[in-house]
Amino acid sequence: MPIHIALLRSVNVKPRWVKMERLREVMSDAGYGDVATHIQSGNVRFTAPGTAGSAEQSLADSVSSLLSAEFGFDIPVILRRPVELTELVEAYDALVVPDLGMTAADVRAYVVFLGREPTTDFATAITAWSLPGERARVVGRHVVCWYARPSHSASLPTHRIWRTAGVPVTSRDLKVARALAGKWGA
């Protein structure tokens, strides 16, 4: 059975609380297999029969509907396959961290997971983003963001990327993306 990684948008941010234990129960009771979660930010690994190829968006919508009904608020879901997590980390490691006026080790890196392939116009706009202390680059169905300050004070936050892309998105610190690839990647 195909393995999927569901990345839930904006859970466990006041007042949108989702207990991971309950999330695992709900998904298992709905027939999804091998359900596991990673930390409290809405990262779920599961199996689902007959969900290859174009069925991905339908599966994301089904999981979103299930969880939204259970928890009482809209929960957009972005899906990735295990190999995509591994490829993302490998692609990131091949990038040069931009000069933001600090050491590369001090730059904060985040990944924004896009709900579909970005358009050329979107990729051009994101790549052109260049404010003091901020840079971004499209990598497949992801946007890598580098900040010289906390992400909540950046000018290119996830919600601006969401509006620009016109599709659901969710973000994770690069450390979390690496952990997911290490734990569930292929």
- Per residue in 61-103, pLDDT (tens digit) is 999 999 999 999 999 999 999 999 999 999 999 999 998 988 8
pLDDT in the model for residue 50: 66
Q: Is 81 exposed, middle or buried (0-12, 13-18, 19+ CB in 10 A)?
A: middle
At residue 149 the predicted structure's pLDDT band, cuts being 50, 70 and 90, is confident
User: Residue ranges per domain, the chain?
Assistant: 3-80, 83-184
What is the pTM for the complete model shown? Answer: 0.92
Same fold, 3-80 and 83-184: yes
Answer whether the bond into residue 98 is a cis peptide, omega within 30°. Answer: no
Answer whether 174's CB lies under 8 Å from 109's CB: yes
> Within 10 A of 25 (CB to CB), how many other CB atoms are there?
13
In the numeric block, the tokens 């610190």 are attached to: 173
Q: What is the mean pLDDT of the chain?
A: 91
Fold adopted by 83-184: Alpha-Beta Plaits (3.30.70)
Architecture of domain 3-80: 2-Layer Sandwich (3.30)
Q: What is the pLDDT of residues 44-68, one digit of tens each?
A: 999 997 655 558 889 999 999 999 9
Could you tell me the two tokens for 19?
A: 């207990």
